[in-house]
Amino acid sequence: MIFLLTVSVLWALSFGLLAKVSGLGATSVAAVRLLLAALVFLPFARPRRLPRRDLLALAGIGALQFGVMYVLYIESYRWLHPSEVALFTIFTPLLVTLFDAALARRLSWVYLATAGLAVVGTAICLWTALDRHGLFWGFLLMQASNACFALGQILYRRFARASGRPDRELMGILYLGAVAIALAMALPVADWGRLAAMTPGQAWILLYLGVAASGLGFFLFNAGARRTDVGTLAIFNNAKIPLAILASALVFHDRVDWARAAAGGVVIALALALNGWLVRNRPARG
């Protein structure tokens, strides 16, 4: 669980920072972020230790979890404010639980209930009036992005456990798949001139987002995913939200409703504690 908590802190800054580079183009920003992440982990990759079929499967998971997810996620900033992007991520815990249930062919009501509680807590933190033009399209983009990320982490969790290989050897291949899909989507439409004209501040933000938030962040998140139960994994998809609100106030000096943020954070913490208690005390099968 420490891996998931650490990455939640890393990602807390991403919502505000990403808004500062979204004008460079969704597909080009996604491609650069993922290329930087791949460069961090490719030295640790050991492709010869995996069959070709597994390499293709791993690259495909990366293309879905990071590549398609990022393009959809960054594109949503054309329609949404950063706070609305954060709000529309709240359903990811439910998607994680449902995708795991579909693949396992068994629904855990414990995981579904605690994931639902995490969604409620996040909604308390973020909910606002939603009546602007363009919100519908932004919402659809975010739900597609959420689905890609949720299914990708469940597929990686199952693949990594079955392979027995350490995460550091797998992540480089995962990122290569993500870079391939991001570049394929970027090359026909990206305005590389805008990227070349970025300011030094935007360059530093891209470096942080690529190396830390994406490279190290996704490594820690996927490493945590294979080491914990699905309920904890689902809840931690939303644990970054209260931390992002805190970062928004302290770093970006945004106005924050502290009462709502605290109440939502308490509900998410309660979901995590309840999930742990129920998992520890559920009756053994057989």
Residue 285 resides in a domain: no
Residue 98 resides in a domain: yes
Domain count, the chain: 1
**pLDDT per residue as tens digits for the range 168-192:** 999 999 999 999 998 988 888 777 7
**pLDDT per residue as tens digits for the range 2-53:** 888 788 777 777 766 777 887 788 788 888 989 999 999 999 999 988 999 9
Most distant pair of Cα atoms in the chain: their distance: 63
Residue 284 resides in a domain: no
Angle CA(145)–CA(252)–CA(30) in degrees, nearest 5? 30
CB distance 220 to 32 below 8 Å: no
- DSSP string covering 246-277: HHHHHTS-----HHHHHHHHHHHHHHHHHHHH
Helix or strand (DSSP H, E) at 243: helix 230-250
Residue 164 resides in a domain: yes
Residue 112 resides in a domain: yes
Q: Which amino acid is at 12?
A: A
Query: How far apart are alpha carbons 241 and 88 in whole angstroms?
Result: 11
| 3-state per-residue secondary structure call for 4-48 | HHHHHHHHCCHHHHHHHHHHHCHHHHHHHHHHHHHHHHHHHCCHH
Which residues of the chain are under the pLDDT cut of 70?
A: 1, 15-16, 83, 126-134, 247-248, 251-254, 256, 283-286
Residue 243 resides in a domain: yes
Residue 128: the pLDDT is 61
The reported pTM is 0.86
Residue 286 resides in a domain: no
Residue 271 resides in a domain: yes
| Residues spanned by the domain of 139 | 2-279
* % pLDDT > 90, the chain: 42
